[in-house]
Structure 1
Amino acid sequence: MKPYPRSERVAARIQEILSDLIKKKVQDPRIELVTISSVRLTSDLRIAYVYFSVFGDEARVEEATQGLKSSHGFIKRHVASQLGLRYMPELKFIHDQSFDRGTHMDQLLKSVLKGDDSE
């Protein structure tokens, strides 16, 4: 028996394929700095929630989101050819805000340690 569910194995493979694809083949400059942080699949393997992070402000995040949407067909075809599943999961790109939250928490902790109550 496999150590973890099939959906997790397929999600890990999708993340690997997407990371490689964005790094090497996608020509859109809006998604140059995009990093795929995780992929979560539904148990029926129909929907893949692709969490991405991007270095920059909100405008940069919006540009990256639009770039991913415009490249969606190319990305999906490439992933499907590499994945070899009967049904290709629908890819839904979601901005991963965990890094931003972590940075904010770090700033809050630093301000508390300094004795500064301003947020």
Structure 2
Amino acid sequence: MRKNSIKNIRINEEVMRELSNIIRGEIKDPRINPMTSVVAVEVAPDLKTAKAYISVLGDKKSQADTLAGLKSAEGYIRRTLAKNINLRNTPAITFIIDQSIEYGVEMSKKIDEVTKNLKED
């Protein structure tokens, strides 16, 4: 299976949907921030590994705690994922903090600040 094939894209979307359901509803770890969302998932073509990009609303400590909580619950997440999705192999999940939303908000604030300064002149 190629990386950007239709099958791989569908698997990525399905894993992302199930992963967000598991994180939102089934994990009871207090370290995991309730405002955690799965931004994207990239499953390798051989279905052995997956990168899950996670966005956490909060400060750096909250992000680090959430990442630690997800890494400790990785076995449970993988087992639940295997139960919910029928794949040949259940991928080993690597969680990565996604900074794109924060970066977008920061850039939006800078743009607003510049346009405000231009209107004052």
* TM-score normalised per structure 1: 0.87
1:48, CA displacement in angstroms?
1.1
Distance 1:99 1:79 in 2: 26
The answer to whether residue 46 in structure 2 is matched with residue 44 in structure 1 is: yes
Distance 2:35 2:78 in 1: 19
Give the match for residue 102 of structure 2.
Answer: 100
Distance 2:20 2:67 in 1: 15
Structure 1: gaps spanning 5 or more residues: none
Give the match for residue 59 of structure 2.
Answer: 57
Aligned length: 113
Deviations 1:62-102 (A, max 9, x none): 01000100101100110011111121111111111110110
The answer to whether residue 35 in structure 2 is matched with residue 33 in structure 1 is: yes
Identity in percent: 33
RMSD (Å) for aligned C-alpha atoms: 1.4
SS at match of 1:62: helix
Give the match for residue 86 of structure 2.
Answer: 84
SS at match of 2:106: helix
1:44, CA displacement in angstroms?
2.4
Letter in structure 1 aligned against 2:83: S
Letter in structure 2 aligned against 1:53: S
Q: Mean alpha-carbon deviation: is it higher for 91-100 or for 23-32?
A: 23-32
Give the match for residue 69 of structure 1.
Answer: 71
Contact 1:7 1:45 (8 Å CA) reproduced: no
* TM-score normalised per structure 2: 0.86
Give the match for residue 22 of structure 2.
Answer: 21
1:30, CA displacement in angstroms?
1.8
SS at match of 2:28: coil
